[in-house]
Chain A
Amino acid sequence: MITKTVDSVSEALQGVKDNMMMMLGGFGLSGIPENAIAHLVKLNVKGLTCISNNAGVDDFGLGLLLQKKQIKKMISSYVGENAEFERQMLSGELDVELIPQGTLAERCRAAQAGFPAIYTPAGYGTEVAQGKETREFDGKMYVLEHAFKADFAFIKAWKGDTAGNLIFKGTARNFNPVMCGAATVTVAEVEELLPAGELDPNQIHIPGVFVQRIFEGKNYEKRIEQRTVRKR
């Protein structure tokens, strides 16, 4: 049986270097790889390009890497709610590439699936399509978008097993499954790591073949960005 387990987050992040391109799962603060981010802060690697739908908040998520100026470039679809991000972006310290959310997902998925590029209608006729190849199919215009080439993908799942199989929970799934296997090394952190055989093969969202390293994460904060409730 193939085993993907590593003992610690530091072992999981072996090989991480300055100026690498990283993919990080999550939508807002939901489903972010909290342990991997904390360790990237500790390693103090610099000049990172981060592909992530959002950029965290000032004091959590990718905001922690921004505070220490470890990120050179962000590739995201939406980056509000972060004052330090805004400061670095406006001062020119941080390079930001904004791309449509579905395009972000599909550029990850293309890398995972072995497609060099995909055609999408999103952004046609807008500044997003500037300088890009466009093509007409059945009377509608599309933009050619290339697959990402990342060094590491940091994934957060709910449950996993030693074979690297993953199950996600709720909307914490988001970009995580499409980033699995979309980078040279995929590192998955899970809330609960089980021996192979404990998870029902019918319920696996991502097979272990897409994952190189898996570990059980610690101390998940799972912060809520917008707590909205109704009265009983």
Chain B
Amino acid sequence: MTEREDAQDSILHAIQPRRGRALLVRSLLKSKLALIGMVIIVLAAATALTAPLLAPADPSRVAVAERLRPPMWQEGGTSDNILGTDSLGRDILSRMMYGARVSLLVGCVSVFLAGLIGVSLGLVAGYLGGWPDTVLMRIADIQMAFPFILLAITLMAVLGSSLGNIIITLAITGWVSYARMVRGQVLSLREKEFVDAARCVGVPRLRIMWRHILPNTISPIIVLASFGVSAAIVAEAGLSFLGLGVPLSVPSWGAMLSQAREVQSKAWWPAVFPGLAITATVFGINVVGDWLRDVLDPHLRKD
């Protein structure tokens, strides 16, 4: 990077609107709902990271003789299985902890991949215009018109079911909204003064996209991604219901909830705990997402 380019950048950045981080934190503390959401997210993430240290048992150890033990505070429960056992005698608490890992991994990685594909394609389409734009937008249309679950079933039928394939499936079905949104942003940003200015001083196209346009689309991307993560967690549960979820021994909240259906007339605990985990986490992510949108969107910041 040459000095001249640095100078260009710093001038241009000065023109662009920027916000302080301190403002964000203060606003978070002000919004009770968002604060609760943040706490839930942090808890879930912490559990996911520390699962191997905290989990009291091997999450995939099957013991049919110990199946459907109730939680320890109920009659028949033991302190070995604090939240009871599932239909194969596996420890629900341990599965919940490892499940946090799997569910968040599926959510985050698939959204990251979807975002990566969507943002790059959106940038290219929006900035270049012309036939690349037409082609990419038609591909996006095709994607939108193909019902997600059908696509997932077809993909899983071709690829087979594994954690990686679920992530790929969700990524392939999720990129469109990023592409469309980024493209829209780019189309409007392209005409803004600071981009014109950059073009005038001779900054190359790629660099304009990377240094000047992309940063301005970041906040809506973050908002979209936060909803994407929660949607992916719920979608994974749906895939599990259709038998297209993670492999049997891998614990994910969605798979646990789906497997609990079979024993629901006998036992409430295999369903309720993962169900609560999904609902709480999705709730947390969504309120934080809402809050982020309110904070990052200048139109809504009236106070």
The answer to whether A and B interact is: no
